[in-house]
Amino acid sequence: MPQYYHQYKIQLLQNSVNSIVEDSKFYNIDELEERLYFLSKKQNVAIVLTNNKGYVMFGKNENHIRNKYTRNIPMYNQLKEYNISAVIKLKNSNELYHLDIVMPLQTIDEVNTVLRNIMPFIIVSAFLIALLGAYIYSKTITKPLIEIIDKEREEEKKRKEFIATISHELKTPITIISGQLEGMIYNIGKYKDRETYLRKSYDSTQDLKALVDEMMEVSKGEILGKDLKFEVINFSDLLKNLANRQSYLIEDKNQNLIYEVQENLSIKADKEKITKAINNLVNNAIKYSPKNQNIIIRAYKSKASKTVVLEVENTGITIEEKYLKEVFNPFFRVEKSRNRKTGGSGLGLYIVSQILKSHDLYYKIESKKNSVVFTIYF
């Protein structure tokens, strides 16, 4: 930097002197002195202008003063200077003038010394700024990208698990149907009773159809999860219609429906999807409760939060604490035998959770001493 700055200052002075020499033929002595005055102030130089007889026309005889006082000063203590000389000819004059300029270079070296002294602080500051910049970059750009990548990986993992589970779920009824049909074709043993096993095969195809329908519902929900049509719904009427729709299943298991719903409750939601979710809840409660138990549908407006609360409770059954969070996973069933007579495919509550999440609704499931309660806050 000092070397570059030396060259820059010397070149700047040289250009200024060349300009004065070139323009001097248009100046008289007063105009020249004015130009030299501004040059000395602007570039911090000592200027001496003399005529042919050595008489000083402008400035002080710096050379005489320097020669007088510096001869006794050691060389290493003498100031560093740059000297430049030129001959000037003014207009309307045949006389030649001599221009001597001295530019001190010591200040440039002082700047260099100061820079070296503050360099550690500059390096530390640059390092701290770099750390801060890296931290901000990681927070604003890198971390969100990592989160997106991790989320994609998690979703891909879930998709693979979902497909693997679907394959397993489809394989069971297909194997049953295939075995029964093969036995009937070759009239093997008990399969000679074709009427009985045709009916069983038919029942298995119905189970298979129901499973495919539920998987299609899941697929549709995942694809159109954000395609919601919100509207104000008379929630009391909706629950009444759903309860009536499930009355046959309740009577078939000799269960008791306890219906506690306030009148004129209203919510804002996608009617088709919310109907599907609540229908699955009620159907789940009926399906997993033993005979002669209670199915409780309770809805009311909370005075504290002014939200509409729905509770679907079924008695005669409990769920272990460790399984409560897993019941929303696809194909999960507490009953490990996965017997279709004692439950569904395990997609019911998964579909419910996806619909409620798409509505940004808070929900929870609790296991009491002799019942399970599912609660939704609208």
What value does the mean pLDDT take over residues 83-109? 84
d(CA 39, CA 42): 5
Angle at 207 between CA 201 and CA 209, to 5 degrees: 100
CA angle, residues 183, 189, 195, in degrees to nearest 5? 65
Give residue 169's pLDDT. 65
This model's pTM is above 0.85: no
pLDDT number for residue 73: 43
How many CB atoms are located within 10 Å of the residue 248 CB? 9
Average pLDDT of span 183-208: 84
Nearby residues of 290 by Cβ (< 8 Å), 6 or more positions away: 253, 316, 317
Q: Which of 74-88, 146-160, 232-246 has the lowest mean pLDDT?
A: 74-88
pLDDT tens string 338-361: 454 545 556 778 888 888 988 999
Give helix 235-245 / helix 271-288 axis angle, nearest 10°: 40
Domains of the chain, each with CATH number or no CATH: 2-104 (3.30.450.20), 226-377 (3.30.565.10)
In contact, 335 and 305? CB cutoff 8 Å: no
Average pLDDT over residues 220-233: 70
- Encode pLDDT of 137-146 as tens digits: 888 888 788 8
Give the pLDDT of residue 222. Answer: 54
Determine the average pLDDT of the residues in 115-138: 89
The per-residue pLDDT for 66 is: 52
CB 346 within 8 A of CB 332: yes
The pLDDT of 55-71, averaged and rounded, is: 63
pLDDT level of residue 77 (50, 70, 90 thresholds): very low
pLDDT tens string 34-49: 999 999 888 888 888 9
Task: Say what the pLDDT of residue 296 is.
Answer: 95
Residue 63: both structure tokens together: 């050379």
